């Protein structure tokens, strides 16, 4: 983990990716759980937190973490429109993760000063993102779209692109992805199991975060 990174200034996507081997994909249904979950992850060494916009409470959760957990760097996931990006910035998000890429989302993130990690699954999508100056991308859905074999194939024509595979990535296969030279980190939901969050088992979340930080990756 890049413990020397200044988290108070504007972030780049590469800084978000380099901070730890795993970016947790977080789904929250209760604002009351947001701060406690964030603190548990930070205690385990994970501070780049992707709160997905999959629930009505997501923006309120982002706002609560941004306000009450200064050691965390909260971002928003499942961002699909310029309006989503703008709302996330207003809530205090510092970075955005999207399942795909559009020029409108890219422009909204630039306007708001948000680091963007957009999802791609094809060569054409990579090229479109690169046309807008983006070379740090989320490979999504990673397992379903070809997994490590696809990333190896892309290393030739897209040798200047760095990826965060997400979708089907788990503790069981994370090391295989992280061993690839074009992978900086992975994204996954296994750090915040729904059952552990529901019962408030923050010690388990911290333990999973600590385990994730032990994963070995290329020094990119």
**What is the DSSP code (8-state) at residue 136?**
E
Catalytic residue set: 50, 138
DSSP β-bridge partners for residue 75: 50, 95
In a domain, 142, yes or no: no
CA distance 22 to 142: 14
Is a pLDDT exceeding 80 seen at residue 15? yes
In a domain, 106, yes or no: yes
**What is the DSSP code (8-state) at residue 166?**
B
Domain that holds residue 79: 13-115+166-178+186-211
Reported residue count of the chain is 220
pLDDT of residue 59: 98
Kindly report the number of other CB atoms within 10 A of residue 144's CB atom: 10
Is a pLDDT exceeding 60 seen at residue 139? yes
In a domain, 24, yes or no: yes
In this prediction, residues 177-199 reach a mean pLDDT of 97
Please say whether the dihedral angle defined by the alpha carbons of residues 179, 39, 9 and 120, taken in this order, is positive or negative.
positive
In a domain, 120, yes or no: no
In a domain, 194, yes or no: yes
> Looking at per-residue confidence, does 151 or 220 come out higher?
151
Q: How many domains does the chain have?
A: 1
Give me the percent of the chain exceeding a pLDDT of 70: 95
Is the whole model's pTM more than 0.85, yes or no? yes
């Amino acid at each position: 983990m890049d413990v020397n990174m200044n988290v108070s200034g504007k972030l780049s996507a590469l800084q978000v990716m380099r901070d730890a081997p795993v970016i947790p994909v977080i789904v929250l249904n209760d604002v009351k759980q947001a701060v406690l979950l964030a603190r548990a992850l930070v205690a385990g060494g994970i501070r780049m937190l992707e709160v997905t916009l999959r629930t009505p409470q997501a923006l309120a959760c982002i706002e609560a973490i941004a306000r009450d957990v200064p050691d965390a760097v909260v971002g928003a996931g499942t961002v699909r429109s310029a309006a989503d990006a703008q709302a996330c910035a207003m809530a205090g998000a510092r970075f955005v993760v999207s399942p795909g890429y559009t020029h409108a989302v890219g422009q909204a993130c630039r306007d708001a000063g948000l680091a963007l990690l957009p999802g791609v699954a094809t060569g054409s999508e990579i090229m479109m993102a690169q046309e807008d100056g983006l070379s740090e991308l989320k490979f999504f859905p990673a397992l379903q779209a070809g997994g490590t074999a696809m990333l190896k194939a892309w290393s030739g024509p897209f040798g200047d692109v760095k990826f965060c595979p997400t979708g089907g990535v788990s503790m069981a296969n994370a090391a295989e992805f992280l061993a690839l030279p074009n992978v900086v980190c992975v994204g996954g939901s296994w750090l915040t199991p729904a059952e552990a969050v529901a019962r408030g088992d923050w010690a388990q979340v911290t333990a999973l975060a600590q385990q994730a930080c032990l994963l070995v990756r290329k020094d990119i």
